[in-house]
Structure 1
Amino acid sequence: MTPITIAIDGFSSTGKSTLAKQLAKYLGYVYVDTGAMYRAVTLFAMQNGLVSETHLDQLGLIKNLPSIKLHFVYNSALGFAEMFLNNVNVENEIRTIDVSRLVSKIAEISEVRSKLVEQQQQMGLKKAIVMDGRDIGTVVFPDAELKLFMTASPHTRAMRRYDELIEKGQKVTYEEVLQNVQERDYIDTHREDSPLVKATDAIEIDNSTLTKEEQFALVLDLIDKFYN
Structure 2
Amino acid sequence: MTAGRLLLWRHGRTAFNAEARLQGQVDIPLDDIGRWQARTAAARLLERHDPTAIVVSDLDRAVETAGFLARATGIEAVVDPRVRERGFGEWEGLTGDEIQATWPDDFALWRSGGEPSRVGAETRAEVAARIAESIAEHSAALDRHDTLVVVSHGAAISSAVGELLGMPPQWRGIAGMLNAHWAELVSSTGSVEPGWRLTGYNLGPTDASSDWNAGPDTVHGSEADAQTRDPG
- Fold match, TM over 0.5? no
The TM-score range, normalised by the shorter chain, is 0.3 to 0.5
User: If the length of structure 1 is used for normalisation, what is the TM-score?
Assistant: 0.33
Higher helix proportion (structure 1 or 2)? 1
User: If the length of structure 2 is used for normalisation, what is the TM-score?
Assistant: 0.33
